[in-house]
Structures are given as C-alpha cells and as structure tokens.
C-alpha cells in the first residue's frame, strides 16, 4: 500500500481488470513457489517506525506535508494522517554488529527529524497511541494528501454501505463509540519488524513469528490510553482491527489469521485472492513478473504477521515476514531491543527439532496474543514443555529470553552486542515496567492530565534511557 494511485474513484471495469491481473499473477506466484525461484539471501533485517508530530501543548500537529518537504529524506514518508510520518530503516544482515547498525541509522534519522520538527515549532514522538488525541481530530481534513488514502476510505465506506465504524473495547475501562471514516486507524502507530527468509525456512519461521506474537506484545506494550480511557496494555491491537473493518469481508482485514502455514507461504496469497475483496483496483503497467497487483492487494490486508514479496538488488524475488504487533517507542534503544528479541526467538524456534506448530496449537498462539495485548506482562499463556498455563513474564524470563540469546549468537551476533540489547528486555521484566505500565503509573501518581503525561513521556524519551529506567 506504499504506492500512490492515479485516482480515488474506480468503475466496475477497473475492478474486473485488476482481478484478472491478480488471478494471473497469483497463478504465476504459485509456479514460483513450486519451482523454488526465491532468493537464498536470508536473515536480513529491516524496520518501519511510525511517529507523531505534536506541538508544545502536546496536541498532534497536522503538518506532515510541510515537515517532509523541509526534511527531504527518502527514508521518511507520509502516513494516513497529517500528524504522522513513517521512518524506514535500510536492510542489514543479521550478523556482526547488526543491531548497532540499525540503532545508529535510526538515531541519525530520528535526530534529523527532530531538528526539522523543532524548526517548524513541533516535536516528534514515538508512542503507540498519543494520549492527547481526541476523536474529533481524526477527520478527513487531517488525512494525508495522497490519493490512495482517499481511495481506501471511499472503498471501505462503500463496502460498509456508509455505516460508521464501530469501536467497542472492554479493558480496565470501557469505550463504546462510532467513527464516520477510516481516520480512526490513524490513532495507532507501530514499529514493524521485517525479516527476509529463504523459501525452505519460511514456513517454520512464519509459524514461529505467530507463536511469539503474544510474548512480544506483552513485553513491548505501549498503548494503554485511547481518548482518555484506560483500556488494554496494547489497545492498539483491538483498535486497528476495528478501524478498518470492511462490512462485506467474511475474513477480517486485520487479524491474527486462521491457522499456521502448512506447506508454503503461498497459502496466504491464495487466501488473499479467494477471501478478500479488492479494495483499490490500481492498475500497474509492469509485467506479470513484477507481481505488482499481488503485492498491492497484499498491502490492503493487515495480518499481524504478514508475508511480503520483494526483489533483491539483482532482481531475484525474495520472501519477507513483517511482524506488526509491536507499538512505536518508547525509545530508539527499546525499539531495537524489541527487534533483537524477535529475531533471536524465531531463530531458535525455527530450528527446533519439533516444530513449534506441532506442540502449540494455533488457537493457543492466538489466545496468547490477545491475552498479552490485554493484560501485558500479567497475561497467562499456554506454552509447550510441560508448562501448561504460565504467566508470560516467567515464560520470557526463564525460557524465551535465554532462547533469544542462543538464536542471536547462532546468527553470528557478538555476545557483547547480544547482551547489550537483550539486557534491555531483561530490565523491563525485572522492573515490571513497559511503556504502558509507566504511563499508567505516572497517571496514578500525578492524575490523568493527558498533556502533562505526554510531555513527561517526551522528556524521558528525549533523555534516551530505556523505559525500564524511567522515573515517575
């Protein structure tokens, strides 16, 4: 969905033509999987970080067009709302000082962004949901100017027969409201982790990503507040699932999925074709070998773990897994530590003698995910190995964090580098402090003044200390 489109209104002929190309390219993709045409380059890391533009009053500023023009950095691009931007990381091999390279680049880009924002009277903030955001700010006047966003809103509203989106979340508190357009999605910002994989490993690693999604969201939770309501530790999860619900879809556009992969990742692209209506029939001039329509359609289906197809520098197609469960923030080092934990866990789980999908039912992985999103580090989860039901903090401390260390060392990351980033995760577990928990504790001590909370969060983010060291 990162590509711009030519218009925001489409006729029946456009949908018919797009679906024909989608069918042709999906058939071609099936042959690629059967013939094992994908690149053997693997264990390449990348990320996307979504961030907020806000003013000195801690309210969001709808100015990403002016900000991006002043910045002039191709790694930083618009997001759905005019008060959000997305920062992209360059792919890097997961060996050597991989995480230092990722952090150095993100720090450089982030500092550049902050300098430009300050020149424009703004600040940049990484957080899952901005506490000061109000529903009335999420209006079409604050939608980014790209045509694809208007087209997406038009199509979703058509599928919903003009009915508003319904938001219902039961957490510590409860929220019930409707929203008239797609802009509700803009309330949620994330840190998306990418992993390029070999075809031979893709199923095992994709299933491992599903299995660790619960623990990942528990230890990274940073979105407890929405429109002044204290809801889930990671409220971003139910919010996003409800914010783009197409009324005609039997399968949710945003979901954990329906099962593990069994034979190949092609199963997911086959499901895309068979079960998800086309949202935007954007015609592409490229030939079938570009898979332009397959990839564009896949970009309108937001699985929490999403398969991606890209192309190496030499034109070879490759497979990636996009792990979408982690919120933005609280700091750069927290973000890179989250990535290190994810890569380390899937590296170990993907090489188990018994596949994780044979021991952890899909229903358990899915239940773990939603329990962890709701309850954070207090969640009870299922895990193989005779543990049955266990709290996720203990599972991370005793099992998954040590396994992540083994996985990263197996990849060729130096021990000092492994310790530096995974110690951040261990610190959160010891202190029982994620971004979500810090926000709640600050509000409990100082009162639920959302502007003051946001400015206190900003001050600590700019200090650079990982969240487990943040004071109240």
Rounded distance, CA 25 to CA 43, Å?
26
Q: Where are the beta strands (DSSP E) in 324-440?
A: 380-383, 388-391
What pLDDT shows up at residue 249? Answer: 61
**Which strand (E) or helix (H) includes residue 16?**
helix 12-35
Residue-wise pLDDT for 125-152, tens only, equals: 999 999 999 999 999 999 999 999 999 9
Rounded distance, CA 390 to CA 379, Å?
8
Whether the model pTM is above 0.85? yes
User: 2 in a domain, yes or no?
Assistant: no
User: 392 in a domain, yes or no?
Assistant: yes
Report the 10 Å Cβ neighbour count for 174.
Answer: 10
Rounded distance, CA 420 to CA 412, Å?
15
What pLDDT shows up at residue 389? Answer: 87
CATH code of the domain in which 350 resides? 3.30.590.20
Q: What angle do CA 121, 124, 127 make, to 5 degrees?
A: 145
> What are the tokens at 115?
């300098």
Closest listed residue to residue 32, CA positions, set 266, 250, 252: 266
Instruction: Provide the pLDDT confidence category of residue 2 given band limits of 50, 70 and 90.
Output: low
Closest listed residue to residue 390, CA positions, set 379, 400, 401: 379
Rounded distance, CA 122 to CA 373, Å?
31
> What are the tokens at 423?
């110690």
Which single residue is written with the structure tokens 């980014």? 144
Residue-wise pLDDT for 146-199, tens only, equals: 999 999 999 999 999 999 999 999 999 999 999 999 999 999 999 999 999 999
User: 4 in a domain, yes or no?
Assistant: no
Over residues 450-454, mean pLDDT: 98
User: 241 in a domain, yes or no?
Assistant: yes
- Return the higher-pLDDT residue of 322 and 7: 322
User: 1 in a domain, yes or no?
Assistant: no
Residue-wise pLDDT for 72-81, tens only, equals: 999 999 999 9
Farthest CA pair distance, the chain:
61
Residue 396 DSSP symbol: I
Print the domain residue range for 287.
12-469
User: 442 in a domain, yes or no?
Assistant: yes
Over residues 235-244, mean pLDDT: 97
> What are the tokens at 432?
């029982």
Count of domains for the chain: 1
Residue-wise pLDDT for 277-318, tens only, equals: 999 998 888 899 999 999 999 999 999 999 999 999 999 999
Report the 10 Å Cβ neighbour count for 431.
Answer: 15
Give the number of residues written for the chain. Answer: 472
Report the 10 Å Cβ neighbour count for 398.
Answer: 12
**Which strand (E) or helix (H) includes residue 311?**
strand 305-311
Let me know: does 450 contact 132? Beta carbons within 8 Å.
yes
Rounded distance, CA 325 to CA 345, Å?
15
Instruction: Provide the pLDDT confidence category of residue 387 given band limits of 50, 70 and 90.
Output: low
Rounded distance, CA 370 to CA 254, Å?
13
User: 225 in a domain, yes or no?
Assistant: yes
Strand, coil or helix: 438? helix
Rounded distance, CA 104 to CA 78, Å?
22
């Amino acid at each position: 969905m990162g590509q711009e489109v030519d218009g925001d209104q489409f006729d029946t002929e456009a949908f018919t033509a797009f679906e024909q190309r989608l069918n042709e390219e999906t058939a071609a993709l099936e042959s690629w999987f059967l013939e094992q045409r994908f690149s053997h380059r693997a264990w390449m890391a990348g990320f996307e970080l979504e961030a907020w533009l806000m003013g000195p009053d801690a309210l969001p500023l709808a100015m990403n067009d002016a900000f991006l023009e002043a910045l002039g950095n191709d790694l930083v691009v618009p997001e759905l709302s005019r008060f959000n931007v997305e920062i992209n990381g360059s792919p890097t091999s997961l060996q050597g000082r991989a995480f230092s390279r990722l952090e150095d680049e993100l720090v450089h880009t982030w500092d550049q962004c902050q300098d430009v924002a300050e020149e424009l009277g703004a600040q940049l903030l990484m957080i899952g949901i901005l506490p000061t955001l109000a529903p009335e700010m999420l209006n079409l006047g604050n939608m980014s100017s790209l045509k694809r966003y208007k087209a997406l809103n038009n199509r979703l509203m058509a599928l919903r027969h003009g009915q508003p989106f319904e938001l219902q979340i039961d957490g510590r508190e409860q929220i019930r409201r409707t929203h008239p357009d797609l802009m509700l999605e803009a309330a949620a910002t994330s840190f998306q982790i990418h992993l390029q994989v070999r075809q031979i490993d893709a199923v095992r690693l994709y299933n491992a990503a599903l299995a660790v999604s619960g623990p990942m969201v528990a230890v990274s939770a940073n979105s407890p507040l929405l429109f002044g309501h204290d809801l889930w530790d990671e409220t971003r999860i139910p919010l996003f699932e409800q914010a783009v619900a197409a009324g005609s879809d039997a399968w949710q556009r945003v979901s954990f999925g329906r099962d593990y992969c069994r034979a190949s990742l092609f199963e997911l692209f086959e499901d895309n074709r068979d079960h998800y209506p086309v949202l935007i029939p954007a015609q592409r001039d490229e030939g079938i070998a570009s898979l332009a329509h397959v990839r564009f359609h896949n970009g309108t289906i937001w699985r929490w773990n999403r398969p991606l197809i890209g192309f190496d520098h030499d034109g070879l197609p490759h497979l990636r897994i996009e792990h979408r469960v982690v919120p933005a923030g609280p700091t750069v080092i927290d973000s890179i530590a989250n990535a290190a934990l994810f890569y380390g866990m899937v590296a170990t789980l993907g090489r188990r003698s018994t596949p994780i999908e044979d021991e952890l039912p899909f229903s358990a992985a899915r239940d773990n995910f939603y329990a962890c999103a709701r309850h954070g580090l207090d969640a009870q989860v299922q895990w193989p190995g005779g543990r049955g039901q266990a709290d996720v903090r203990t599972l991370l401390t005793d099992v998954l964090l040590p396994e992540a260390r083994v996985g990263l060392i197996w990849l060729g990351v130096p021990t000092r580098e492994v310790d530096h980033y995974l110690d951040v995760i261990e610190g959160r577990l010891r202190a029982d402090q994620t971004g979500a928990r810090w926000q709640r504790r600050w509000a409990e001590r100082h009162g639920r003044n959302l502007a003051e909370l946001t400015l206190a969060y900003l001050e600590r983010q700019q200090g650079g200390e990982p969240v487990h060291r943040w004071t109240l």
